[in-house]
Amino acid sequence: MPTRRGTPLRHALSAALAALLLTLGACGSDDNDADPKPTKKPAAQETPRPGDQKVTLTWKGEKRVYTVHAPPGYSTRDRLPLVIAMHPYPADGTAAATISGLSAKADKENFLVAYPDGLNRGYNAMICCGTEDDVGFIRTMTKRLTGTWNADPSRVYATGISNGGDMSYKLAVELPDTFAAIAPVSGGYLGTDAEKASYMPKRPVSVITFIGGLDEHYAGMDEGITSWQKRLSCKAGKPTELKNRIKKTTATCRDGSDVAVYRLPEMGHSWPNGAGGGMSDPTAGINATDLLWEFFESHTKKAS
């Protein structure tokens, strides 16, 4: 920071330090959030309240954005569940909200939803679509939501479609201490990382997933969830056949987690009975939003 000619050095250093602290507080920077027990609470720009609120933070030099939806009557006195909902590629949090209808579901069932925007409209997930530290960004975002918004850390969940569904799996593996359960929709446990037997959650994270038989990625997604269950020594029951020839299988795994898989033979790369948008399939025969919330409600993160 330049100083005026003739200003004493100690005054210049004090002014520079004050300016730096002011700048960090104003932009809500959470860079280098690697310390699991930060000594200082990150500055928050948001004001917790009902409705939608767009929040910006700086993460590793990049401006990152997410939208928080809180139900009517919400107060920070409440300790509500939190759902992180992630969009497909290329899209943003608005698309995730439109496709899933989770904001309306949150209003009815009384939980918080956060819709993070991927940088350049995508997340660095299992097989695409970016190179950013999205795991770190979402970890930081979640810490702020369990702090500033008082979300219940034992009831934090992740869902998403396509690239966002892939990201759900990545979060389950790399942030198992954060998430109680995930719900990938038309997403997969795929790619180089998934080929490693060690790439699995170190704590129980339950999974409910929906995959379409007409999806061009069906084979990979089906193989991925089968591999997930095999690695976690899950014991599956007999499939249940629902309408539209949908098959549901459930399994209980050695670590105490559960897996529920809906295979929809007549659906493509879509959200079953989503609320809107081109990736919603109103004829799917089941409602993924209702089913994933029912699954989330029954799964709470176990204490360490």
What is each CA distance from 87 to 9, 83, 97, 123, 195, in whole angstroms? 51, 13, 8, 9, 24
Please give the structure tokens belonging to residue 19: 């300016």
Distance, in Å, from the CA atom of 289 to the CA atom of 303, rounded to the nearest integer, reads 27
The region that residue 283 occupies, defined by phi over 0 for left and psi between -120 and 50 for alpha, beta otherwise, is alpha
pLDDT of residue 19: 39
pLDDT of residue 229: 98
The candidate with the shortest Cα–Cα distance to 292, out of 61, 34, 81, is 81
pLDDT of residue 304: 60
pLDDT of residue 302: 77
Residue 114: CB atoms within 10 Å: 27
Backbone dihedral angles phi then psi of residue 48, each to the nearest 5 degrees: -55, 130
Q: What residue spans of the chain are helical by DSSP H? A: 9-27, 93-100, 102-109, 134-147, 163-174, 191-194, 218-231, 288-297
pLDDT of residue 88: 98
Distance, in Å, from the CA atom of 85 to the CA atom of 77, rounded to the nearest integer, reads 23
What is the percent of the chain where pLDDT is above 90?
A: 84
Q: Classify domain 45-297 by CATH number.
A: 3.40.50.1820
Per the omega criterion (within 30 degrees of 0), is the bond before 234 cis?
no
For the chain, give the number of residues. Answer: 304
Where in the chain are the domains? 45-297
pLDDT of residue 153: 98
Please give the structure tokens belonging to residue 249: 């299988």
pLDDT of residue 43: 44
Half-sphere exposure of 19 (CA within 13 A, CB side): 9
pLDDT of residue 12: 38
pLDDT of residue 41: 42
Instruction: Give the chain's residues under pLDDT 70.
Output: 1-45, 304
pLDDT of residue 45: 67
Backbone dihedral angles phi then psi of residue 202, each to the nearest 5 degrees: -90, -5
Is residue 154 a contact partner of residue 297, using CB atoms and an 8 Å limit? no
Looking at residue 15, the DSSP 8-state letter turns out to be H
Q: Pairing mode, if any, of strands 247-252 and 258-264?
A: antiparallel
Residue 260: CB atoms within 10 Å: 19
Distance, in Å, from the CA atom of 183 to the CA atom of 70, rounded to the nearest integer, reads 20
Contacting residues for 160 by C-beta, under 8 A, at least 6 apart: 85, 86, 87, 88, 96, 166, 167, 168, 184, 185, 187
The candidate with the shortest Cα–Cα distance to 188, out of 261, 109, 108, is 261
pLDDT of residue 36: 41
